[in-house]
Amino acid sequence: MAVTVLDDSTFQSELPSAANAVVDFYAGWCGPCIMFKPKFKRISEDYPHVRFFMVDGEKAPVARKTVTIDNLPYFAVYKSGQFVEGFSTSDEPAFRAFIEGNFGATP
């Protein structure tokens, strides 16, 4: 499934329409964020029951305020637009475990 890029003007309208969503909050200056971006896009193909979104936290301060980011890259789980939990990692197996812990493996 394709990754959708959100900003403050689309965050509140797009996110609630997704029953299961993970949002990659990143910053353009963050090296680990840049390195994880292609993995995030590739991993999104393995979980068709989850919508994948990306938000540049520096350019979307309203969206960023929905979470407390302690480190980057930061991934947030939302269910029907409601924040559930967040996780910081640049480790692919840990990220996959985070997704599967919240949404299960591919049905």
Point out the residues that are catalytic: 30, 33
Quote the CA–CA distance of 107 and 104 in Å, as a whole number. 8
Angle at 42 between CA 26 and CA 94, to 5 degrees: 65
Read out DSSP for 28-90? TT-HHHHHHHHHHHHHHTT-TTSEEEEEETTT-HHHHTTS---SSSEEEEEETTEEEEEEE--
**Of the candidates 77, 68, 71, 69, the residue with the CA atom closest to the CA atom of residue 97:** 77
